[in-house]
Structure 1
Amino acid sequence: MRILVLGGYGFIGRAVMRRLAADGHAPVGLGRSAAAGRHRAPQFDWIGADIAGLLSPADWLPHLSGVDAVVNCSGALQSGGRDRLKPLQHDAMVALFQACGEAGVRRFVQISAPGAAPSAATEFLATKGMADAALRASSLDWIVLKPALVIDGNAYGGTALLRMLAAFPLVLPLVHAGARVGTVSMDDLTGLVARAVLPAFPARQEIDLVEAEPGTLREVVLSVRLWLGYPPPRAVLSLPGWAGSAVGRIADLLAWFGWRSPLRSTALRIIAEEGVGGDPQAFAALNGGAPPRALGETLAGLPATVQERWFARLFLALPLMVAVLALFWLLSGAIGMARSGAASALLADAGFTPLVAMIAVVGGSLADLALGAAVLFRPLARRACWGMVGVSLFYLLAGTLFLPHLWLDPLGPFLKVLPGLVLAWVLSLMLEER
């Protein structure tokens, strides 16, 4: 079968495509960038399109040519930055359902979420629920799957957050530690998707994918910590709800800078008010009476090696690295502007004319300010890191040519450039989103 997978290079979409291909199907991935899809998984065909812009059946019909089934793995947690939930999760889907009817594509598998309903309190669950309702009202052979927190060897979003929390040194800070958080293994999810796309699979049903006995957030994070091989924390700090709300509001603000933090207010509200759960009976009925595997069984089937521990600790350190680099370069530029006279005098002593020295100081300060600001914007952050590396190398080269004695200065003005240069380079390596 030729199967169109929306969000094909996302966390769930990529795993779904691999499973479909392993079963002999020909999955076609649709994502914002076909080039990004080909870079990550060149063995598949890719379509580049912004789903939030495909708002009429005519927009979708060219992408449905020769397609036998559609699997929707797309979605976003919250509006902000480049994400607009209603066009993405509802309006475009309604147009797609109609286009599938016109193109003769009968089978549609929708990856939704526990608690999704048009009346849900969060925009994420409400728009997912509105799309689910529109799909149920259509003439398509639909299956709606509602996975709990998906656990895989790969990590993104909520699963990355679990590893980050588990990596906290000494203590474990948690908000809503007693909330129930059910999980499901990626293998159980992709296995069910692979069955659901087949014409013989019973259509027009909703299936929750969640372990039979979900643990609390505290228990889940401690299980992940044990799986990673870290010692138990000295203490578990149960933080008040207002602390989580404050973090969520900061994360919401950062979304307008392009940073898609898993600690957004939507995620915190869902955990606080509803938890992550569901009813495993429908899945069990299709699986010989067995519910989705429990978290312990899922983790036992995944290797936890040094790369998982590196990811957990580096993901925890990433916000600090961005903040430190931004602060360093912004302060460097601001101090350079404020002390331009003293800095230009230093260059004048090296043989520069006063005008050239002042231009060099002001130009360098402006470059520092620009790079410090740019690293705070996610779309520019990686290029800003490369710029920091380039400017640092230029400073060192020029300084060596004109002010070589500063290498032996007891305060080490040149030597101290090297750690910042390396930090910018390491951060540039970490800023791949998926």
Structure 2
Amino acid sequence: MAKLVTIFGGSGFLGRYIARRLAKDGWRVRVAVRRVEQAGFVRMYGHTGQVMPWACNIRDDDSVRAALRGADAAVTCVGTFDRKGRNSFQAIHVEAAGRIARTCLEEGVRRLVHVSALGANPEGGSDYARSKAEGEAAVLAAMPHAVILRPSILFGPEDAFFNRFAGMPGPVLPILGASTHFQPVWVDDVAAAAAMGASGRAAPGTYELGGPEVLTFRELMEKMLHVTRRRKLVLGLPFWLGNLMGGAFDAGRTLSGGLVPAPVTRDQVASLRTDNVVSPGARGFESLGITPTALDAVLPDYLWRFRPSGQYAALKESARNLRS
């Protein structure tokens, strides 16, 4: 019988790519999610019965144990941007990560791949970075041979980064941390690394995963605007203003009981003060034999819908060249 892998958060942005890759490699895939009724689409990633959504609450010991029972490998790619509440940094990044690792050990799950984040640091400038580092420590305390992946900002058709900014209306594009450097990474490249870890083709340890380009936030937005054929002023906002905005949005979210979303939080503002790039000498894609994909090879494939002429932009540009 084919081996079984449990993917926590397997219906999310990164998780669905990992599920698709492992199914293609012949694994039976158990996709552990909170809302199983919203994860039915993962069944299409494999043959009938090969990929199955599985209801799981990662804050509950018994629920995690049931999701891991009989599995040969596990992947955790669950994250949150909530600093407080039931699904806080502490609950999801630290406690849940440790719970999954300990249960893997108890249930005899041989391999564990834990997706953390580039910039995870116990002394980081944001609660997010510190919680990610604490989560890694909790995982390694139970499973010292686990594979830890630290990806930079993920990009791809379902991303919440380029899609978000490309869809912002108006002639001005305001951003915080305009001079902060990032190393965006193609989501399927990270999925390939996770699949290698689950199958034992990646040595245990920590891998920092970034794309081939290091660009400032401003340069990333300019590249996005070039792809979408839009002309906007990229306006860099000062951090003091970002702190005021984040504080106001945090308060609004708290007072509304979480019903009002926060476009930016104070913790995210703190994160933007630090470059999000691969550390010198860190193990990365080259150690896995993976060549990371460039932004220009992917962005046009899904940002075309934000162009003034949408799918017909290239046709119009071609016709314009013929007339000239």
Q: 1:10 Cα shift?
A: 1.6
1:244-263 correspondence to structure 2 within 5 Å: 244-255=242-253, 256-261=257-262, 263=264
Give 5+ residue unaligned stretches, structure 1.
313-434
Quote the offset at 1:154 in angstroms: 1.2
1:175 counterpart residue number: 176
Equivalent residue number for residue 192 of structure 2: 191
The Cα shift of 1:216 comes to 0.5
| 8 Å CA contact retained: 1:176, 1:217 | yes
CA distance in 2, matches of 1:221, 1:213: 14
SS of the residue aligned with 1:141? coil
Q: CA contact under 8 A between 2:212 and 2:292: conserved in structure 1?
A: yes
- Counterpart for residue 322 of structure 2: none
Q: 1:74 to 1:221 in 2, by over 3 A?
A: same
What's 2:102 paired with?
98
Give the letter aligned to residue 239 of structure 1.
L
CA distance in 1, matches of 2:263, 2:206: 26
What is the CA–CA distance in structure 2 between the aligned matches of 1:116 and 1:161, rounded to whole Å? 24
Q: Do the aligned residues in 2 keep the contact of 1:181 with 1:276 (CA within 8 Å)?
A: yes
C-alpha distance in structure 2 between counterparts of 1:258 and 1:49, whole Å: 24
Q: State the Cα distance separating 1:285 from its structure 2 match.
A: 2.8
Query: Aligned partners of 2:93 and 2:238: how far apart in 1?
Result: 32
Counting only pairs closer than 5 Å after superposition, residues 112-261 of structure 1 correspond to structure 2 as 112-156=116-160, 158-164=161-167, 167-203=168-204, 205-230=205-230, 232-233=231-232, 235-255=233-253, 256-261=257-262
1:23 alignment partner, one of 22, 25, 34? 25
CA displacement 1:130-172 (0-9 Å, x = unmatched): 121122233453111010000001122x3443334xx443223
Q: Which residue of the partner structure matches residue 60 of structure 1?
A: 64
| In structure 2, distance between residues paired with 1:262 and 1:16 | 28
Q: Which residue of 2 aligns with 1:45?
A: 52
What amino acid is the match of 1:163?
Answer: A
Aligned residues: 297
Preserved CA contact (<8 Å) 2:211 2:293: yes
TM-score, structure 2 length as denominator? 0.82
Aligned partner letter, 1:48: A
Pairwise CA distance, 1:202:
1.4
1:321-340 equivalent positions in 2, closer than 5 A: none
The code of the aligned residue for 1:33 comes to R
Structure 2: gaps of 5 or more residues: 45-50, 311-324
Cα shift readout 1:239-269 (whole Å, capped 9, x = no counterpart): 2222222222233234443345452222221
More helix by share: 1
- Contact 2:184–2:213 (CA under 8 A) maintained in structure 1: no
- Amino acid in structure 2 at the alignment position of 1:47: W
Does structure 2 retain, via aligned residues, the 8 Å contact 1:101–1:140? Answer: no
| Structure 1 pair 250–7 and aligned structure 2 pair: CA distance change class (3 A) | farther
Computing the radius of gyration from Cα coordinates, the structure with the larger value is 1
Change (3 A) 1:70 1:258: farther
- Distance change (3 Å), C-alpha of 1:92 and 1:173: closer
Aligned to 2:146, the other structure's residue is in SS state strand
Which residue, 56, 77, 81 being the options, matches 1:77? 81
Q: How far did residue 9 of structure 1 move?
A: 1.8
Deviation at 1:291, TM superposition (A): 5.4
Aligned alpha-carbon RMSD (Å): 2.5
Distance 1:41 1:258, change over 3 A: farther
Shift of 1:83: 2.5
Secondary structure of 2:272's counterpart equals helix
The change in CA–CA distance for 1:59 and 1:32 in structure 2 (over 3 A counts) is closer
2:270 partner amino acid: R
Q: CA deviation at 1:8?
A: 1.8
Measured in 2, the distance between the counterparts of 1:199 and 1:278 equals 23
**CA deviation map 1:204-233 (0-9, x unaligned):** x11111124410100001111212232x32
Which residue matches 2:294?
A: 294
**TM-score, L = length of structure 1:** 0.63
1:283 alignment counterpart: 284
User: Share of identical aligned residues, percent?
Assistant: 24
1:167-191 alpha-carbon deviations (Å, 9 max, x no partner): 4432232222111122000121111
**Relative to 1, partners in 2 of residues 1:240 and 1:120: Cα closer, same or farther, differing over 3 Å?**
closer
What are the equivalent positions in structure 2 for 1:252-401 lying under 5 Å apart? Answer: 252-255=250-253, 256-261=257-262, 263-272=264-273, 274-279=274-279, 282-288=283-289, 292-299=292-299, 302-306=301-305, 308=306
1:87-141 deviation per Cα after TM superposition (whole angstroms, max 9, x unaligned): 2221122222121111110201011011212333322222211121122233453
Contact 1:150 1:159 in 2 (8 A): no
Distance 1:2 1:229, change over 3 A: farther
Amino acid at match of 2:304: T
